[in-house]
Amino acid sequence: MKVFEIGTGYTSIPAQMGAATEIVVEELGKVFEEEKIDYTIFDIQDENRKQTDLNIVEVKVPKIFRKKDVNLGIKHKIKRVIYSINLAKTLKKEIKHTNDNIAIHFHNQYNMYFFLKLIPKKYLRNVKLYYTVHSYIWNGEWDKILNVINKRYFQEVECVKKADKVFVLNNFTKEHFIKHLGIKENKIIVTINGVNTDVYRPLAQDKNSDITLFQCGSVCERKNQLGAIKALTEFLKEDKSHKYLYAGGIIDQEYKNSIDNYIIENEIESQVIYAGELKPGEELNNYYNKGKAFIFPSKAEAFGLVIIEAMASGLPVIMDRKNSLEISSDIRNALLFYNNNDELNKTLREKIVDNVERKNISEKSRQLVLDKFSWKIVANKYLEEFEENIKNKE
């Protein structure tokens, strides 16, 4: 069996920016490399690709589309289409001249949609198609998300229906697929994302760091940095030594402006620090280690990858109990929840400012990730499904 992992074309692999899906493909590739699996990653052309030992086949695109693009505008959509068309052509060459069984694993709706449209069925005799749903949109109530799905995720609906197996990151998505899209339950596999515990790890305490709370993620309303700052305002004002540090690419400049205006109006601008966009891996881990805790206020996620990254780095994670993110019982038992700002302030004083309490929580968080959320565990789950599906075909 050959495994083809498909990069989305958003940014090249290994990711040099906070691109969660690209990190997933990269980490799966690393496990496949270690396990001597016959795999190939197909990814967008990049002359400045970060050095890697991963087996990557580049898909050519015009030079104008090889630059990093985070604003998700029309140019980004055109880039996705061009990459996906050229990807289909590249994959066609790979599969038409082999008799091997091939598992093609897609992570993006554009990529698989154009593959389905452009590749004749006669080339798919020895091919099984797999699709992982990373989109956060499916977490919402059906009546509220239907219009968005029809406009922006109709390609994903096609992918889910045509895939041999569909991997989802939460049960919200699974239930929508069964109830509203008519997908058979045995076709849907609930899985998790993992974390590289060699990269994301506790470091020696930075004695010069005065950061109480850290948050990372694209700067936009969905990630809800402003909500975190508002919840923390009282805590920050009562002690000027407390600081909140956030990092991530700016997706919505108006939203960033609203953050800046709020902190000026509330006279906490010296305590709210923006670190810009960080590279995943060692640089991001260094920033996790600057904080005493990680705050997660995101309004919608398919899977909170940053939660387990923070835990692997030894940070307690704090979350509003009203957050709708589906969390496994393992993680839930390790999180610090609050119902209102008073409870948040109490948690910060008793669990985070207190070094002994924080150390106990940190050690338990790290051990949980080591036991339950390694990429090896995740990759082997994918491999089991690939192999079982191909075996059934034979």
Return per-residue pLDDT of the chain as tens, 394 residues: 999 999 999 889 998 776 889 999 999 999 999 999 999 999 999 998 989 999 999 999 998 877 665 566 788 889 999 999 999 999 999 998 888 999 999 999 999 999 999 999 999 999 999 999 999 899 889 999 999 999 999 999 999 999 999 999 999 999 999 999 999 999 999 998 899 999 999 998 665 567 889 999 999 998 999 999 999 999 999 889 999 999 999 989 999 999 999 999 999 999 999 999 998 889 999 999 999 999 999 887 877 789 999 999 999 999 988 776 777 777 888 899 998 989 999 999 899 988 888 889 999 999 999 999 999 999 999 999 998 866 665 5
**Per-residue model confidence (pLDDT) at position 243:** 94
Q: Which two tokens stand for residue 294?
A: 């990680």
**Per-residue model confidence (pLDDT) at position 209:** 66
**Does the domain at residues 211-372 carry the CATH identifier 3.30.930.10?**
no
4, 88, 126, 303 from 122: Cα distances, Å: 19, 14, 9, 36
- Neighbour tally for 362: CB within 10 Å: 18
**Per-residue model confidence (pLDDT) at position 96:** 87
- Residues 279-294 have pLDDT tens digits of 888 999 999 999 999 9
**Per-residue model confidence (pLDDT) at position 64:** 80
Handedness of CA 7, 10, 13, 15 (dihedral sign): negative
Q: Which two tokens stand for residue 91?
A: 């994959």
Q: Where are the domains of the chain?
A: 2-194+374-393, 211-372
Handedness of CA 224, 24, 373, 392 (dihedral sign): positive
Q: Which two tokens stand for residue 196?
A: 């590289």
Specify the CATH superfamily of domain 2-194+374-393: Glycogen Phosphorylase B; (3.40.50.2000)
User: Are both 2-194+374-393 and 211-372 of the same fold?
Assistant: yes
Exposure string of 186-206, with b = 16+ CB inside 10 Å and e = fewer, is eebbebbbbbbbeebbbeeee
Long-range contacts of 356-360 (CB under 8 A, 24+ apart): 358/292, 358/293, 358/316
Handedness of CA 248, 304, 59, 153 (dihedral sign): negative
**Per-residue model confidence (pLDDT) at position 140:** 87
Question: Do 255 and 299 contact (CB within 8 A), yes or no?
Answer: no
Whether the ω angle into residue 62 lies within 30 degrees of 0, i.e. cis, is no
**Per-residue model confidence (pLDDT) at position 210:** 77
- Residues 275-328 have pLDDT tens digits of 999 988 899 999 999 999 999 998 878 777 899 999 999 999 999 887 767 777
Q: Which two tokens stand for residue 128?
A: 């099984």
HEC-encoded secondary structure of 204-219: CCCCCCCEEEEEECCE
Which of 78, 63, 151, 146 lies closest to 110 in space, CA to CA?
Answer: 78
